[in-house]
Amino acid sequence: MMTVPLDRSYADQLDAADDLAGMQQAFVNLEPDMIYLDGNSLGRLPRAAVDLADDLVRRQWGERLIRGWNEGWFDLPERIGAKIARLIGAAPDEVIVADSTSVNLFKLVVAALRAQRGRMRIISDDLNFPSDLYILQGVVDLLGSGHEIALAYSADGIHGPVETILSLLDHNTALLTLSHVTFKSGFLYDMKALTAAAHAVGALTIWDLSHSVGAVPIDLNGSGVDLAVGCCYKYLNGGPGAPAFLYIRRDLQERLINPISGWMGQRDLFNFDLDYAPTAGLRRFLTGTPPIMSLALIEPGVDLILAAGIERLRAKSIAQTEYLIELWQQRLAPLGYTLNSPRDPARRGSHVSLGHPAGLGIDLALINELNVLPDFRAPDNIRLGITPLYTSFRDIYIAVERLAQAVIEQRYLKYQSNRPTVT
Ligand SMILES: *Cc1c(COP(=O)(O)O)cnc(C)c1O
C-alpha cells in the first residue's frame, strides 16, 4: 500500500486539485470550524432549500392556498421521483416519492409476497438495517401464512455473507431483500449478481438504497432489479424525516397491489367512488395526501447531486475514503483503532467505520470537545460519513488528528456512563 504524507499541506493540495470543491458553497454552513461527518445520516441544508421553504410557506401555502394542488403539488411525487430515477438507473415512471422508507418497504414486501403465492421463504442478512428486519417480521405476523425469514450471518460483521445468501436461495424463496450498502460497515453488495441469482430460482428482489443513493452509481434497470426503496434525508440532503421513494419495475406495476390502498392511489379520485380501483402506473402505490412542504424540499438536494454527477461524486468518495483509510493505518491503528469497513473500495460505500473499545466515549468526546460530528453504532463503530458534495480532504485530515487526540489524551474517560438518546 502506498503511504500518504501525514501533513496537512498534502490535504490542502488534494483540495486544490478537487474540481468538486466549489459545491460546498451550495450548502448552509454556520459553523465553518465544525467537521461534519454525518451526511450519511442527515445531509446538510442546501441554500436553495432555504429560499424554497420561504416560497412554500409564504406564497404557495399562505397565498395560493388550495389552488396549490393544481399548481404543482399534485404531481410532485412523480416529478421528484423522475429526478431520483436518473440517479438510480430507472425510467422516469418507475420511481415515486411517498411515505417513509420503512412504510414503503412494508408496501413492497406485502405486494411481493402476494405475487409469489406458494413460496414461503424471505431471505435477508444480519447486516441489514433493523427497521427493515422489523418490517419483515411484522409482515410475516400480519399475513399469518407461515412465511419464514432466513437470515444470512456475516462471518466478520463487515462483509456481506454472499455465499450463504446464494446457498439459501431455493425454489421456495419468494423474496431476497438487502441493503445495497450496509449501514454499519458500509459493505456494498453486487446488486446485479445477486439479483440474477434470485431470478434464477424465481425469487423477487427488494433493494434498500438508503445508504447508496446519491453516493454510489446505481443501475436498477441494468441489474434487472424488481423493487427498491430508499431514503431522501441522507446523501440526497432532503431534510430530517423527508419522505422516501420507491421503485417498481414497469412490467410489475400493474401486477402488484398496494396493501395500504388509500384515495391517493385511486383511479379518478375525485369521483369519490365507494369501491377501491387502483389508478394506472405508480401512483397506485400512494396512500394518503403527501406532506407537500417536506416533499418539495427534497428537490434542491437532488438537483445538486445531478449537477455534480454521480460518477464524479463516486470518484471523489473513493479518493476520500482511501485517504482516510491510509491515514487510519499510519496514525490510528497504532492507537487501537480497527477498520470495520471493507478495505476494497469496489465493495465499500461512502462511509468508513472505525472500531475502538472506547468507541462511544470517543464519539462523545469528538462531539462535545473536539468539534467533530461523526455518529456511533454499537458495539464499537465510530461512523465517518464522507459526503463528497461538501466533505473536504482537510476535514478528513483534521478528523483523524482529533480521533488520535481523543485517545492520546484519554478524553473518552469522562463519557463512560451516559449514553444519549440519539447516537
Ligand atoms: C436510514 C435507513 C432507513 C430509514 O427508514 P425510515 O423509515 O426513514 O426511518 C431504512 N432502511 C435503511 C437501510 C436505512 O439506512
What pLDDT digit, counting tens, does each position of 23-67 carry? 999 999 999 999 999 999 999 999 999 999 999 999 999 999 999
Is 226 annotated as contributing to ligand binding?
A: no
Q: Indicate the pTM of the whole model.
A: 0.97
CA-to-CA separations, 252 to 94, 107, 225, 282, in angstroms, rounded: 10, 14, 11, 10
In 278-420, where does DSSP find H-type helix?
292-296, 299-308, 310-327, 359-369, 393-408
Q: Give the model's confidence band at 190: pLDDT under 50 very low, under 70 low, under 90 confident, else very high.
A: very high
| Residue 420 predicted with pLDDT over 80 | no
383 included as an active-site residue: yes
| Chain segment 36-48, per-residue pLDDT in tens | 999 999 999 999 9
Partners of residue 377 on adjacent β-strands: 381
Annotated catalytic residue: which of 129, 189, 337, 415? 129
Residue 44's region, left for phi above 0, alpha for psi from -120 to 50, else beta, is beta
What Rg, from alpha-carbon coordinates, does the chain have? 22
- Ligand 1 proximity of 211 Cβ (cutoff 6 Å): yes
- Ligand 1 proximity of 210 Cβ (cutoff 6 Å): yes
Q: Are 400 and 329 in contact (CB under 8 A)?
A: no
Is 180 annotated as contributing to ligand binding?
A: no
Q: Give the model's confidence band at 423: pLDDT under 50 very low, under 70 low, under 90 confident, else very high.
A: confident
Q: Which of 118, 158, 146 is nearest to 347 (CA)?
A: 158
Q: How far is the CA of 375 from the centre of ligand 1 (A)?
A: 15
Q: How far is the CA of 382 from the centre of ligand 1 (A)?
A: 19
83 included as an active-site residue: no
Q: How far is the CA of 351 from the centre of ligand 1 (A)?
A: 16
Nearest-angstrom CA–CA distance, 41 and 234: 5
- The sign of the CA dihedral 307, 312, 317, 323 is negative
Q: Are 65 and 285 in contact (CB under 8 A)?
A: no
Tell me the average pLDDT across 363-383.
95
Overall fold of domain 8-33+309-415:
Aspartate Aminotransferase, domain 1 (3.90.1150)
| Chain segment 375-416, per-residue pLDDT in tens | 999 999 999 999 999 999 999 999 999 999 999 999 999 987
Q: Residue with the nearest Cα to atom 1 of ligand 1? A: 210
Q: Which of 423, 322, 331, 330 is nearest to 382 (CA)?
A: 423
Percent of the chain with pLDDT over 90: 96
Q: Are 391 and 352 in contact (CB under 8 A)?
A: no
| Residue 351 predicted with pLDDT over 60 | yes
| Chain segment 205-249, per-residue pLDDT in tens | 999 999 999 999 999 999 999 999 999 999 999 999 999 999 999
Residue partners of 275: CB distance under 8 A and separation at least 6? none
| Residue 2 predicted with pLDDT over 90 | no
Q: Are 124 and 177 in contact (CB under 8 A)?
A: yes
pLDDT at position 418, please?
Answer: 66
Is 211 annotated as contributing to ligand binding?
A: yes
Is 101 annotated as contributing to ligand binding?
A: yes
208 included as an active-site residue: yes
Q: How far is the CA of 332 from the centre of ligand 1 (A)?
A: 30
Annotated domain spans of the chain: 8-33+309-415, 50-306
Tell me the average pLDDT across 157-175.
98
| Chain segment 276-331, per-residue pLDDT in tens | 999 999 999 999 999 999 999 999 999 999 999 999 999 999 999 999 999 999 99
CA-to-CA separations, 64 to 12, 67, 75, 298, 387, in angstroms, rounded: 48, 5, 16, 21, 36
- Cell triple for residue 105? 418497504
- CATH 3.40.1370.10 assigned to 50-306: no
Nearest-angstrom CA–CA distance, 116 and 201: 12
Pairing label, strands 35-36, 372-373:
parallel
pLDDT at position 422, please?
Answer: 80
Residue partners of 12: CB distance under 8 A and separation at least 6? 393, 394
What's the full length of the chain, in residues? 423
| Chain segment 76-120, per-residue pLDDT in tens | 999 999 999 999 999 999 999 999 999 999 999 999 999 999 999
Annotated catalytic residue: which of 99, 208, 226, 380? 208
Supply the mean pLDDT for the chain: 97
